[in-house]
Chain A
Amino acid sequence: AQRVTQPEKLLSVFKGAPVELKCNYSYSGSPELFWYVQYSRQRLQLLLRHISRESIKGFTADLNKGETSFHLKKPFAQEEDSAMYYCALSGSARQLTFGSGTQLTVLP
């Protein structure tokens, strides 16, 4: 079975502050991890994936297999980063499992 845990339902930070959205996973094989984002009134879209190892909109995420974590980080949050963020895992048989999501609010 594959499972994704996002412990924070809500997260508020001030503009310019660092932000970290936590994600832990459970899967016995080699998973592929993703962060998806849903801005207000927009469709769910991919933010980044661990195999790309790239920074998108200033966000980065490192897969830590020892801690089974894939936390999303940004050094300086912007107001336009306010959105719902979902961590997701793809393991067996084309199943993409989402975590429960973290609603990020960046305050002015």
Chain B
Amino acid sequence: DTEVTQTPKHLVMGMTNKKSLKCEQHMGHRAMYWYKQKAKKPPELMFVYSYEKLSINESVPSRFSPECPNSSLLNLHLHALQPEDSALYLCASSQDGGGANTGELFFGEGSRLTVL
């Protein structure tokens, strides 16, 4: 299996809802990432997990809460989001040889989030 799988593909939620995005990979990769992509913009890094530990948090608001239950899974818990948080949320994974460089990232198809 050489894919990163994200669920759900689409999510609509109100500002008071609590929901989660899920990401799964079975390539043995030890680094996993969350990116946010607005329409016609590049992906923006949100979080990086390396060996199941949070290694980068790009000053993301606390209404986004990442979780890495094991080396294959990555969740993004959402609570009290704002309409401007509507975007495509991309999950990615990479080998992570322990060096600074990321190497090749494998991306999922994304979860398209709409906040009403």
Interface positions of A (Cβ within 8 A of B): 31-32, 34, 36, 43-46, 49, 86, 90-101
Note all chain B residues with C-beta closer than 8 A to A96: 33, 45, 102, 105
Cross-chain contact A86 with B107 (CB below 8 angstroms): no
Interface positions of B (Cβ within 8 A of A): 31, 33, 40-45, 48, 50, 55-56, 90, 96, 100-110
Cross-chain contact B102 with A90 (CB below 8 angstroms): yes
Note all chain A residues with C-beta closer than 8 A to B40: 101
In the complex where A100-B41, A100-B42, A101-B42 touch, is A93 in contact with B55 (Cβ < 8 A)? yes
* Chain A minimum-CB-distance residue to B99: A94
Listed residue (A31, A32, A94) with the most chain B CB atoms within 10 angstroms of its CB: A94
A43 to B9, CA, bound (A): 12
In the complex where A94-B50, A94-B102 touch, is A86 in contact with B56 (Cβ < 8 A)? no
Of A43, A49, A92, A99, the residue contacting B108 (CB under 8 A) is A43
Cross-chain contact B43 with A90 (CB below 8 angstroms): no
**How many A-B contacts at CB < 8 Å in the complex?**
58
A93 to B56, CA, bound (A): 8
In the complex where A86-B42, A101-B42 touch, is A94 in contact with B56 (Cβ < 8 A)? yes
Cross-chain contact A97 with B45 (CB below 8 angstroms): yes
A100 to B40, CA, bound (A): 9
Note all chain A residues with C-beta closer than 8 A to B90: 44
Q: For the A-B complex with A34-B104, A93-B100, A96-B33 known, give 13 more contacts whose Cβ atoms are closer than 8 Å.
A: A32-B101, A43-B110, A44-B43, A45-B106, A46-B105, A86-B42, A90-B100, A91-B100, A94-B48, A94-B100, A95-B56, A96-B45, A100-B41
Q: A92 CB to closest chain B CB, in angstroms?
A: 5
* Chain A minimum-CB-distance residue to B100: A92
Cross-chain contact A32 with B41 (CB below 8 angstroms): no
Of A95, A100, A101, the residue contacting B102 (CB under 8 A) is A95
* Chain A minimum-CB-distance residue to B33: A96
